[in-house]
Chain A
């Protein structure tokens, strides 16, 4: 399988109703990283993720994947998982069917459920699962698709610590299985735990793009430094 990475983004902009939500963002995304997009609320993290995933069309700049048909090799997990009114297993099978998966879709779906620890709940209606379980189901659904790149938008923002832990474990496991991770968070602790690379976004601009270690050890920008110290940014 040809890799859709690296992704090359140049001067990306997104304007809505005269408001520049994202402006002049340039970055390169290499295979194998766990990139965390960090920044205060309203920095444009979610919009950037949607631009990269292709849910929003940029109003400026370019975005180039290394291979054609890149969309088929991506998946995204949202802050609030949207589950169809059918069983947990059927939700995954739906995703596989839509993706045109052939053959043992049932086995693939069950395997994905087992990986996130939801195997026993396969036949349970998805919408009656708890928030944490639903988010793990969303991860299983993404996993079943075997994406090269997995986008996650604040995947644990509405979860309690135990559920957050479970979700983070799945993310790490998926990364080990070969997926490149791009996720947003406003939780510095989570960024420290998960990130290999860091994108710091502030007011729609990319302020820093560095390896995580360097970022936390010595941020180059005043905004990032303030953010790490826990100060309010606006």
Chain B
């Protein structure tokens, strides 16, 4: 209990005086995971919409696999991306290993199934409501998908945020492909792991509290924007 109180105090102190190290690490965390979300969403939202509207043999299997992939183990994704980006791997010449870009890529792979699967569900539910109207207008599948993606933007923002939450909180993948290099690839979660391994548990927990605080703040902001927009757009 003593430790936890100490951590709370420490967390507050770090944030209050905007500790430059903390700011740098937290900023990198947000950039890396933000990039991952961007990359994943650009691919996963259209894919989810396509899967919602498409009918083909084996579709149920694809959905089951996609849903299952929501629980991808970060370490496995990290290893996979590591082997791809390693100098000895197929994408080695890009020289991306141990860079923030590599971390974004790993996280993007990790959260692609989350965003795609949730988007698929949202779009499929909406499709029930919109189907006849859109087909009556002679819209093509792709036009339907596009219209639904835009119309469901408030609900989809929740799936994207879920992806962001998972990306920013995972440590296994970024540790492997980022290498936790001080000032270059050290993010909140790898810093927490480092402090834990140095036995500085109160500091590790304090960093964890800061991370939780940041994520909650972002969700608060998103929620506020969302409910304002919903009131305006119905």
Query: B133 touching A125 by the CB < 8 A rule?
Result: no
B143 to A: closest C-beta gap in Å:
6
| A85–B139 touching, CB < 8 Å | no
Q: Which of the listed residues A50, A85, A94 has the most CB atoms from chain B within 10 Å of its own CB?
A: A85
Q: Return B82 CB to nearest CB of chain A, in Å.
A: 42
User: Which chain A residues (44-102) contact chain B, with CB distance < 8 Å?
Assistant: 50, 53, 55, 71-72, 75-76, 78, 81-82, 84-86, 94-95, 98-99
Closest chain B residue to A82, Cβ basis: B133
- Tell which of B135, B139, B233 touches A55, judged by Cβ atoms closer than 8 Å: B135
Among candidates A72, A84, A85, A126, residue contacting B138 with C-beta atoms closer than 8 Å: A72
Q: Determine whether A127 belongs to the interface, using a CB cutoff of 8 Å to chain B.
A: yes
Residues of chain B within 8 A of A145, CB atoms compared: 137
Q: With the chains together, A53 CA to B138 CA distance in Å?
A: 11
| B62 contacts across to A, CB distance below 8 A | none
Q: Is A233 an interface residue (CB 8 A)?
A: no
Interface size (B, Cβ < 8 Å)? 19
**How far, in angstroms, from A76 to B134 measured CA to CA in the complex?**
10
Assess whether B147 is in contact with A84, with CB atoms less than 8 Å apart.
yes
- Would you call A99 and B233 a contact (CB within 8 A)? no
- Contact (A95, B132) CB under 8 Å given A85-B234, A128-B234: no
Q: Does B151 sit at the interface, judged by CB under 8 A?
A: yes
Residues on the A chain within 8 Å of B129, using CB = 82
On chain A, the residues within 8 Å of B154 by CB distance are 85
Are A98 and B143 neighbours in the complex by a CB distance under 8 Å?
A: yes
Q: Which chain B residues border A126 with CB–CB below 8 Å?
A: 234
CB distance from B136 to the nearest CB of A (A): 4
Q: Is the CB of A127 within 8 A of B234?
A: yes
Residue of B nearest to A126 (CB): B234
Please report the number of residue pairs spanning A and B whose Cβ atoms sit closer than 8 angstroms: 51
A149 → chain B, closest Cβ, in Å? Answer: 12
Interface majority SS (helix, strand, loop, mixed), chain A: mixed
Q: How far is the CB of B142 from chain A (nearest CB, A)?
A: 11
What string of 1s and 0s marks CB contacts (under 8 Å) between B119-157 and chain A? Answer: 000000000011011111111000100010011011000
Return the chain A residue nearest B139 by Cβ.
A98
A55–B232 CA distance with the chains assembled, in angstroms: 32
* A86–B233 CA distance with the chains assembled, in angstroms: 7
Which residue of chain B lies nearest to A76 when distances are taken between CB atoms in the complex? B136
Q: Which one of A71, A78, A99 contacts B133 once the chains associate, using CB atoms below 8 Å?
A: A78
Q: Is the CB of B137 within 8 A of A125?
A: no
Quote the shortest CB–CB distance from B88 to chain A (angstroms).
Answer: 49
Chain A interface category by residue count: 20 to 34
**B232-A99 in contact (CB<8A):** no
By a CB distance below 8 angstroms, the chain A residues around B139 are 98
Task: Please name all residues of chain A whose beta carbon is closer than 8 Å to the beta carbon of B137 when the two chains form the complex.
Answer: 75, 94-95, 98-99, 145
Return A125 CB to nearest CB of chain B, in Å: 4
Which residues of A, 175-206, contact B by the 8 Å Cβ criterion?
none
Q: Are B234 and A125 neighbours in the complex by a CB distance under 8 Å?
A: yes
Chain A contacts of B143 at CB under 8 A?
98
A118 to B129, CA, bound (A): 24
Shortest Cβ distance from B124 into chain A, in angstroms? 16
User: In the complex, which residue of chain B has the Cβ closest to the Cβ of A74?
Assistant: B136
B133 to A85, Cβ gap below 8 A? no
> What CA separation (Å) do A78 and B136 show in the bound complex?
10
Contacts of B232 in A (CB 8 A): 125, 128
B138 & A128 in contact (Cβ 8 Å cutoff):
no
Q: Can you give 28 A-B contacts (C-beta < 8 A)? A: A50-B132, A53-B136, A55-B136, A71-B138, A72-B138, A75-B136, A75-B137, A78-B133, A81-B133, A82-B130, A82-B134, A84-B147, A85-B150, A85-B154, A85-B233, A86-B150, A86-B151, A94-B137, A94-B147, A95-B137, A98-B138, A98-B139, A99-B138, A125-B234, A126-B234, A127-B234, A128-B232, A128-B234
* Interface positions of B (Cβ within 8 A of A): 129-130, 132-139, 143, 147, 150-151, 153-154, 232-234
Given pairs A55-B132, A128-B233, 12 additional interface contacts (CB within 8 A):
A55-B135, A76-B132, A76-B136, A78-B133, A85-B150, A85-B153, A85-B233, A86-B150, A94-B147, A98-B139, A99-B138, A127-B233
